[in-house]
Amino acid sequence: MIATSLLYREKMLILKVEKDQTYYRNVSNKLRRVMKNYPIHVDIIQKRGIIYLISLDDGFSVAFLYSAYLKAKKKGLKASLMYARHINEDWIPKEVRRLAEKWLSMRLSKSTIKLLKKLTITEYMIRRWCS
């Protein structure tokens, strides 16, 4: 459900909230009302017991997302904010890219899956951003 416009921007704010049907319904309705009258770049999805709101980095969209964050906190829901930015595909470690390409054409072995579960890319990404 992520709008195409979100995919081509470089930076996004992401709100992650524990599932609460009333909260989800209220925020979805408010978003629909706002979208009728103003250009806002926010999407909402619900998956596996988590509600995600994704916004572009413009002030209006971020203000909507932050108000949804405050609403979640006020309701006592577990909520967290994340910031995402565009990366080039070559920022993904070579080993991970190689295994992902292999995965396209065949199943991964249990040992390969174990290896991938142990790998993290955060430190790698931070080094790339800072260089």
Contact 10, 84 (CB under 8 A): no
Q: How many residues does the chain have?
A: 131
Q: Is the pLDDT of residue 3 over 70?
A: no
Q: Has residue 16 got a pLDDT over 50?
A: yes
Indicate the CATH number for domain 4-85. 3.30.70.600
> Would you state the pLDDT for residue 9?
52
Domain ranges of the chain: 4-85, 89-130
Q: Tens digit of pLDDT for each residue in 36-45? A: 998 899 999 9
Q: DSSP readout, 14-32?
A: EEEEE--HHHHHHHHHHHH
